[in-house]
Structure 1
């Protein structure tokens, strides 16, 4: 049984698409004969990330990370994030000439530029050097693959996402949200890069609901007292809110995929979003949502889409298929780099 070490700076108590994806990957890898070994901030001292304290940065000496890797003796290493842990693991792999893959989950250059005066091209140059030193960089969508290829990223591989269709299910529909209908829902981090204001500023009938936490939460609460901010929710509590709503509004222009869109569709919710990468790949052309630069028009039009059609689209995406795709990429990287030293 192969042992695959997955290194990630993103982990609990964070609630985001990266953590959900890695949790599901670790859960399903044994079904395919692989043992997941997780290297995360657990067990290490962490400090809050500047401008985003909900994200913790690991303080661990490279030697300590190296000893953990030596003890784990993995057959393959996958680096999921470009943080302190990711860089330490990359350093270990390069020092020992070990084959490794990476994945590109987050538009970090755009997120950083939204907070600090750092040119996007500078950050992309650093990320390009990080990912191009591996045997393959996994990306979630065709749009992102084309974009990164245009920026000089190489050895790009597709790795899609899935959804827990048993948990996120329209059968859970209830009246737990005692609000005027229609109910328009947003789920995700409450941060500047998510462009949530584009949703909250819309003149829509019924009610708006926001599920999630983040650095912009308090300021948005003050600016929009008419909106129901429910805080972070997971598991059954989150699934119940999805099913009790009528339309999922996804205002982000920077997400690389958007697992929450799959969760919404599996719950029977049509999606309203801008026609940008992410929504185009997940929703575009499926009939499960409306993409339009006029987000209000998209949200109102989406209300007419039958809930069963939305769920049918989501059911095309399983975590088992995504895990198989991940493993195929690992095997392809190992085969393509056999005998090649990574230094």
Structure 2
């Protein structure tokens, strides 16, 4: 029989959805060592200390995001091992406890689920969607409302050729080698990805605009969906599509850039600013019918734990496909 504090204890694995404003963080990944804790993961794991797990709780993040990038809904799995005789936390109690102990106001736990012990938040994801927000009609950065700063890319142009951007986006759809849109530092062994959706559309009007600003400023939304992305792929694709919208590139040139597989070409070295990018969702095939519950939790404002989760899912995680996380 085993001995020590873990003897007789039961380990429970959870899938946790969480959101954050990335402005104050050096990305989602934890910063280890003597450096100041500036990663979202640092604060999550510090909050998990309040769970009093026999074994320290570590968050395995589904989708890595860079400094300044936000998340409407990211995901992670974690193991909590309570002392012998103590039952596992319910997902609702776990959510409330983590929110209670979180020490940074820009992070929030949305929802939690019990999952099998072999579930993996990064490898099992079936879909990741990123949203990029643009603003046109802003000749100077100080003309952007303070509530929108660090949440969109403000362009000096008064308009974009959205039809050309939509045409260019069609060249990116499907399975391709996206080497031309990959930044150095990617850990992925393959640059082949399948882009399922790439859309360009007018964004909702900002509620923070004064009447005179609403006549000048226009917001636009770019969305990209894939099982996984290469390092900074979304921000590089966004920069190229914006160039098309401004008339400095044609849709046909975007196809040539993709086919070149050259990340150091004249146009593809551009990277859209991090602060306009949001990880919108991470989906798991056997949890997709619950995505609406997570979306509601994002909007819920009553109480630290958000909306009560439904019953625990009964599923086996996917283990096939790319192992790289979302690195938009």
TM-score, scaled to structure 1: 0.28
* Higher strand proportion: 2
* Higher helix proportion: 1
TM-score, scaled to structure 2: 0.29
